[in-house]
Amino acid sequence: MALKPPSMDQWLAEAKQDPDFRSCGMYLVHNGVVRETPKRQVREGATDAGKVGGMLFSYDAEKVERALADARQMPGISYVRAWLNEGELSVGDDIMFVLIGGDIRPRVIDALQTLVGTIKNECVSEIEREA
């Protein structure tokens, strides 16, 4: 069963109360969602893939914390926060939210891309369930 996702309005309000908020000129949010198109089809172009009906999702909390700590050390990055769901998820359920704040657009975009890539490739397990 999916967990209740956080409020991005609340997260942004909290980020702007952080002691380092004055150095942030930009915040970016990533919202990963369970889709019905299988990963094999999207990434590899597989034409024999059926539809996804859901996903079993889990993560290693220690690895996620290390990834967040690494992102906080990136040049220009002042704020990093993430929420990951867990358990049996349905199409349309939120998988994760990641919020990054930093000084300029290129650094924030790079940090978001790096962090989400690390989480997806090194910290989580996603098992798609056929529809």
Query: Do the domain assignments include residue 14?
Result: no
Q: Which of 119, 99, 84, 123 lies closest to 2 in space, CA to CA?
A: 84
Residue 9: inside a domain: no
- Residue 1 is assigned to a structural domain of this protein: no
Q: Are 93 and 85 in contact (CB under 8 A)?
A: yes
pTM assigned to the model:
0.92
Q: Is residue 108 part of a domain?
A: yes
pLDDT of 93 over the 80 cut: yes
Quick one: pLDDT at residue 1? 58
Q: Is residue 123 part of a domain?
A: yes
> For the chain, what is the domain count?
1
pLDDT of 116 above 70: yes
Q: What is the CATH number of the domain that holds 119?
A: 3.90.1170.40
Range of the domain at 34: 24-130
Would 97 be classed as within a structural domain? yes
> What's the pLDDT at 70?
98
Res. 7 pLDDT band, cuts 50 70 90: very high
What are the tokens at 105?
Answer: 């657009």
7 is a domain residue? no
